[in-house]
């Protein structure tokens, strides 16, 4: 059972940790702490197929949902992550209805989609995997560009898309927003709130990438339900830096 998706469908926020260092052990350590999911970042993280497979297993053993960000919106790459055991997929840089439809087609089996059969790594989810995965899988498309923000409601209305995962950094760059200024920060926040509202109007689940608990709570308070609150690399660095500071170094 994809407990993270179930929480979101009940209107409760699902909190995740992102892992990018390429270490299945990092995923294993984070999974039992109480996160609703752990997101293996295949786009920007140091992952390849073998250690991604191990990470998914480590996450399941920790009692939480394995999810992954795919490298790009590609039928084969999306299917491969699902075949390895991912229960959710984040697809980056989805800028149009057509691109959202392509992601949705790759995520579910016929007749609801076009996913090819052969989930060699999904046995960790039980013998009835094929009977229930189309309901349990969670597809989030990333709204992280000016064109995507303008078309957010139409993109989110695509059948088979379950929600979004807003990319604040790329969105600011695409919109030409200077986050060092008060006006820039206000425009950025307004754009993100607009995407959240468009997603809600489409009856889908709003989500966002947040760097820490403070920003995660900020966006949860504004309606986001699919929220990552930090990543393994940042968590390690912040703790190390604080330790040195506490020791006067």
Is residue 44 flagged as an active site residue?
A: yes
The active-site residue out of 44, 72, 132, 201 is: 44
CA distance 77 to 62: 25
Q: Count of residues for the chain? A: 249
Separation of alpha carbons 43 and 58, rounded Å: 20
* The 3-state secondary structure of the chain, one letter per residue: CCHHHHHHHCCCCEEEEEECCCCHHHHHHHHHHCCCEEEEECCCCCCCHHHHHHHHHHHHHCCCEEEEECCCCCHHHHHHHHHCCCCEEEECCCCCHHHHHHHHHHHCCCCCCCCCCCCCCHHHHCCCHHHHHHHHCEEEECCCCHHHHHCHHHHHCCCCCCEECECHHHHHHHCCCCCCCHHHHHHHHHHHHHHHHHHHHCCCECEEEECCHHHHHHHHCCCCCEEEEEEHHHHHHHHHHHHHHHCCC
| Residues labelled catalytic | 44
């Amino acid at each position: 059972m994809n407990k993270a998706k179930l929480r979101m469908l009940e209107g409760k926020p699902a909190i995740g940790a992102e892992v990018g260092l390429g270490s299945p052990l990092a995923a294993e350590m984070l999974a039992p702490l109480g996160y609703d999911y752990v997101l293996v970042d295949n786009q920007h993280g140091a992952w390849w197929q073998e250690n991604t497979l191990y990470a998914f297993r480590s996450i399941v053993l920790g009692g939480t949902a394995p999810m992954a960000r795919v490298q790009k919106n590609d039928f084969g790459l999306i299917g491969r992550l699902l075949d390895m055991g991912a229960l959710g997929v984040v697809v980056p840089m989805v800028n149009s209805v057509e691109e959202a439809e392509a992601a949705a087609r790759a995520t579910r089996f016929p007749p609801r989609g076009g996913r090819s059969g052969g989930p060699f790594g999904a046995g960790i989810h039980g013998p009835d995997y094929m009977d229930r995965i189309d309901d349990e899988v969670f597809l989030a498309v990333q709204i992280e560009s000016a064109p995507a923000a303008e078309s957010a409601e139409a993109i989110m209305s695509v059948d088979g898309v379950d929600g979004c995962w807003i990319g604040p950094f790329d969105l600011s760059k695409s919109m030409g927003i200077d986050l060092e200024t008060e006006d820039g920060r206000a425009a950025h926040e307004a754009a993100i709130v607009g995407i959240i509202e468009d997603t809600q109007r489409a009856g889908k689940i709003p989500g966002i990438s947040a760097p820490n608990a403070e920003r995660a709570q900020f966006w949860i308070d504004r309606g986001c339900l699919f929220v990552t609150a930090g990543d393994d690399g940042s968590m390690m660095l912040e703790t190390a830096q604080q330790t040195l500071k506490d020791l006067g170094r």
